[in-house]
Amino acid sequence: MSNLATDPRPRPRAPAPPPITGRGALYVGGLAAILASTCCLGPLVLLLLGFSGAWIGNLTALEPYRPLFIVAAVVALFFAYRRIFRPAAACTPGEVCAVPQVRTTYKVLFGLVALLILVAIGFPFVAPLFY
């Protein structure tokens, strides 16, 4: 009969849980920001590229849902912020948030998504200056 404390055989370890990242919330925030700005930004970009026609007026079909997309983007951005900007000391070694390059990439992507949301919120106020 072997004693567990003196047994030299390695015991099998439980598999490590998958690392938790803020990537999902960041992607949802970016998608919601893009959807929130499609109703207004899409026609302007097409006009700036030289496309014209009466069909561009139909691109505003998502306008009634714009406030919902903005709220979804801000909520997703909040959760991504909590996950991305937590102290590195809160990460255990081996988690994605412990790698400095990954943290920097997530912070850059977070800034881009936040900029998209600001464009989606502010564009209807600035758009009349371009038409």
Going residue by residue through the chain, which has 131 residues, state the pLDDT in tens, using 9 for 90 and above. 555 556 566 666 655 555 555 677 777 777 777 776 666 666 667 777 777 666 666 666 777 888 888 888 888 888 888 888 877 677 777 777 777 888 888 889 889 888 888 887 888 888 788 76
Tokens (6 digits) for 11: 């015991």
Neighbours of 70 (CB within 10 A): 18
Beta carbons of 76 and 25 less than 8 angstroms apart: yes
Residue 113 is which amino acid? Answer: V
pTM comes to: 0.54
